[in-house]
Structure 1
C-alpha cells in the first residue's frame, strides 16, 4: 500500500509538470506577435522595391536659387609675383582717332594781261578786270566773242555812259564838260584787250 501511494504522488507530479510545460508553450506561442511588436531590437528590413516605391511618393526638396547681388561686384584681385593682391583697373575704351583737318590753300587766280580767269558754272572760262580811271571805276567781263559790263561807278562830278555797237566791243565813258575818260574793251585775236584814254 505504501508503494502504491508513492507512485500516485509521482504520477501527479509528472502530470502537473507536463501540464505546466504545455501551458507555458501555449503562452509562448500566443505572445510571439506581441513580442515582435514590443521588442525594439527586432527591425524588419524592407525590400528594395518597397524603398523605391516610398521614395517615388516623396516630393523632392526644392533647389535653392543663388542670391541676387544688390551692388556692383568689385574687380577680382590679381596676385602679383611678390604675393600682394592688385586690383584690376579697367582699360579705358579706345577713342576714335581724329585726323587733323586738311588745310587747303587756294592758289592765286591765273591772270592774262591783267585779266583774271574765272570758272563759270557751265564749265567755261571768262575774263574779269576792274578799271580805275580819274572819272570812276568800271568792271568788265569777257567771254569768247562777247563783252559784258559788270558794274560802273562814276566819281563825284562825273557822268557815266556806255556805247556797245556790237557784242564783242564795249566802250565806257566818264566825262565832265571839260574831260572824258574812256575804257575801250574788245575781244580781239581770241583774247581780251582794252585801252584806257584820257581826253581833255
Structure 2
C-alpha cells in the first residue's frame, strides 16, 4: 500500500512540474507575440493622391492597365511557376484577354476618410450610397464597441465614465458622419 502511495506521489509531482513548465513556456511566448495592441494603417493624405494622379497621367494607358490587373499578374506568375525545368525554352504564352475585361470595369467610387475622437481613430470607406468600417483603433486604456444595422453604424470609445461616439447613417442619402464627444 505504501509503495503505491509513493508511486502516486511521484507521478503527481512529475505531472505538476511538467504542466507548470509547459505553461510558463507557452505563457512567455504568447505574452509578447499573440496579444499585441492592433494598430491602424496610415491613410494617404490628399497630397499623396495628387502625386499618384500625376504619376498615373504620365504613364501610357496600356502600362497602367497591365499593372492594375491582379488577374494578369497572377496568371504570369502562375505560368512561370508551373513551367517544367527542361533544356528547351518554354513556348510563348498565348495572348490572354484577362486585361481587357479588367480595363473595361470601372472601380467603384470610394473614399476612405479618417475621424479622430478622444479615445480612438475610425477609418470609414464612404461610398455614394453606403459606408463600411475600415478600422477602429482605441487609444491605450480605452475600449471600443461597434453596432451596425442595414443603413447605420455606431462606433463608441469608452473609458470609465467617458464615452465618445461616431455615428454614420445612409438611409436613402449619401453617408452622413457625426461625432459626439461627451
TM-score w.r.t. length of structure 2: 0.40
Query: Normalized per residue, which structure has more helix?
Result: 2
Bigger-Rg structure (1/2): 1
Higher relative contact order (CA 8 A, sep 6+): 2
TM-score (ref. length: structure 1)? 0.37
